[in-house]
Each structure stands twice: as C-alpha cells, then as structure tokens.
C-alpha cells in the first residue's frame, strides 16, 4: 500500500508540474528531474516530463538529449514501435547522430537497426540536394552537402551498404564534386601590378633543358613508382569503350611537372580527377648516359561498361 501511495504521489507531482507549465522549474531542471526518475525506474513518470520537454523550444543538442531519454523510457516499458519512430525523427534531424553514454547493447542495436534502414535513402537525398546547389553555383552549400554525404557514408552502421553500389559510386561522385566545390570557393589570387620585366640576357640552349619522348637514341624511359588512375565515377557510357590520353611531363626528380588531357574523355569531372591524381604520380626519372632528364609520357585510359 505504501509503495502504491508513493508512486501515485510522484505521478501527481509530475502532473502538477506539467499543468503549471513548468513555472517553477526551468527546462534544464525538468530534464534533470526526468533523468532522476528514469534512474529510479519511474519510466512512465519520466516519460511524462520528457514528452512535455519535447514539444518546447530548445537547442538542437538539448532536443536530441531529450529524445534519447524518451527512447530509453519507451524501450524500458516495451513500446518498441514508438521508440523506433522517435529514433527515426532523431536520425532525420541529424543523420550523423550517435548516442553517447554507457548504453546497453540492446539500445545500441536498436539505433543501429533504424539508422541502417534510413541512412542510405537520406544519403542519396542529401547528395541530390548538394548536386542541385552545385549546378546552381552555390558552391559553399554544395561543399557542405557533399562533405556531409561522405561523412554519412563513413558511418559504421551502414559500412556494408557503403561498399556496394549505388552508395560506393555515390562516394566517388561526392568526393569529386566536393573537391570541385572547394576549388570554386577559393578566392582568386590578388592581381599582380604590371611592371616592366628586367632585361634578360640571352641564354644558349642547354642539353639539360631538352624534353625527351623515348624516340631518341640512348634514352632510358622513366620507371613507375606510383601511377594510380582513379575509378571512373558511375557507369561507363553505354556506347562501348571510351578512351582518353593523359600527357605528363616528368622532371629530373621523377615528379610530374605538368599534366594535360591530350585526348579528353566525355565526362569532364573525370578528366579533372585524372589530372588531380597525375600531379601525385612518382617515377624514377628518365636518363641519358646516366644523367636524369625531362621526359614527356603519354598514358592511355580506357573505360568500358561494367561486365555482368
């Protein structure tokens, strides 16, 4: 009888606080009270307070904390379907949200299950929004959107799905467009005041300035150390194999001095991805008579439709 009276009294106190509009307690105090009720296994009473807080104003972080405790209370009293809906709203508000604290494996499994169901669709929608911003030349919004897409694809709760199409292809595209957006946001270099160049003494041609192509006698071509060609984003054109040619100028240190698409492929973003990758290629330099020389190399790139 005493225990029943205590629970009833606690419920009356909770109801009175809610009906009074929390006039004597701030939201932070109400949340602390709800956590104490949860710790005391008074899940129904804690839920009453938390549902009042969930409809009020508050920062994003405060609201997510309230919703997390709502989820814990709902799971504790067996209202799984309602808990799932609360988690779905939390993930919709913040796709990268991961609950903090010492949570049970069961609670973490519920979050992982809901996120695994929702996040792939959210990622694809976020990519579409970022691509629209990119097409509208809103590069700041596009860069932020593509960054969020890549971060969401790194979430361990969708690790398996992120390694398979279409999400794997989406990662390549998002990374490429993110880099393009960041480049477009970079401020232009300040103008250089025009000054007459100083007189330059004539320079006689030097054999060390010659660029070799491998057709000359006695030239040992450069040997590849690193020459990684990026994956073609998405599916190859249906018309069959497409080919391009990238031309790189390798200096006497074996680094790429310049790179151009001698024969570009149809997808402009992939041409830029190839040129970006080429700047990091490394070689043992070409030699003539044991002396390192500059060498112009051409590399053919073929893209074929994926075989089934």
How do residues 125-161 score in pLDDT, each as one tens digit?
999 999 999 999 998 999 899 999 898 888 888 888 8
pLDDT category at 109 given cuts 50, 70, 90 is confident
Contact 296, 213 (CB under 8 A): yes
Greatest Cα pair distance in the chain = 108
- Give 233 or 12, the one with higher predicted confidence: 233
Q: What is the mean pLDDT of residues 277-304?
A: 91
Q: Over range 58-68, report the average pLDDT.
A: 77
**Residue 306 near residue 236, CB atoms below 8 Å:** yes
Mean pLDDT over 200-221 rounds to 72
Show Cβ contacts of residue 21 under 8 Å, excluding neighbours closer than 6 positions.
none
Class of domain 210-303: alpha beta
* CATH architecture assigned to 2-94: Alpha Horseshoe (1.25)
- CA angle (157 as vertex; 154, 161 as ends), nearest 5: 75
- pLDDT of 9: 43
pTM: 0.47
Q: Using CA atoms in the order 109, 110, 114, 117, what is the torsion angle rounded to 10 degrees?
A: 50
Q: Distance of alpha carbon 106 from its chain centroid, rounded?
A: 28
Separation in Å, CA 232 to CA 65, 86, 183, 244: 42, 39, 20, 12
The highest-confidence range among 61-65, 186-190, 289-293, by mean pLDDT, is 289-293
Bridging pattern class, strands 242-250 and 256-263: antiparallel
141 contacts: CB under 8 Å, gap ≥ 6: 130, 133
Confidence of residue 204 (pLDDT cuts 50, 70, 90): very low
Q: Which of 284, 301, 300, 282 is nearest to 292 (CA)?
A: 284
**pLDDT exceeds 80 at position 306:** no
Q: Which residue has the tokens 């020459």?
A: 227
DSSP string, 141-201: HHHHHHHHHHHHHT-GGGHHHHTSTTHHHHHHHHHHHHHHHHHHHSPPPPPPPP-PPPP--
Domain-by-domain residue ranges, the chain? 2-94, 115-185, 210-303
């Amino acid at each position: 009888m005493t225990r029943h009276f205590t629970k009833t009294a606690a419920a009356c106190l909770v109801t009175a606080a809610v009906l009074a509009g929390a006039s004597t307690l701030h939201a932070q105090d109400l949340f602390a009270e709800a956590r104490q009720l949860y710790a005391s296994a008074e899940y129904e009473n804690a839920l009453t307070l938390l549902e009042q807080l969930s409809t009020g104003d508050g920062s994003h972080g405060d609201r997510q904390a309230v919703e997390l405790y709502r989820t814990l209370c709902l799971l504790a009293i067996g209202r799984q379907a309602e808990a799932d809906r609360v988690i779905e709203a939390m993930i919709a508000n913040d796709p990268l949200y991961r609950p903090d604290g010492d949570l049970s494996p069961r609670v973490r499994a519920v979050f992982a299950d809901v996120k695994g169901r929702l996040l792939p669709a959210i990622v694809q929608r976020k990519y579409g929004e970022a691509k629209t911003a990119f097409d509208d030349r809103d590069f700041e919004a596009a860069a932020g959107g593509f960054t969020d897409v890549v971060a969401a694809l790194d979430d361990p709760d969708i690790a398996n799905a992120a390694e398979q199409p279409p999400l794997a292809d989406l990662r390549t595209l998002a990374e490429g467009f993110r880099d393009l957006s960041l480049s477009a946001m970079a401020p232009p270099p300040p103008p250089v005041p025009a000054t007459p160049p100083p007189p330059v003494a004539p320079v006689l041609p030097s054999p060390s300035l010659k660029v070799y192509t491998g057709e000359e006698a006695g030239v040992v071509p450069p040997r590849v150390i690193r020459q990684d060609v990026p994956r073609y984003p998405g599916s190859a054109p249906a018309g069959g194999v497409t080919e391009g040619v990238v031309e790189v100028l390798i200096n006497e240190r074996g680094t790429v001095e310049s790179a151009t698409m001698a024969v570009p492929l149809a997808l402009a973003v992939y041409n830029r991805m190839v040129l970006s990758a080429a700047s990091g290629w490394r070689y043992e330099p070409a030699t003539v008579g044991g002396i390192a020389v500059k060498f112009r190399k051409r590399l053919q790139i073929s893209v074929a439709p994926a075989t089934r």
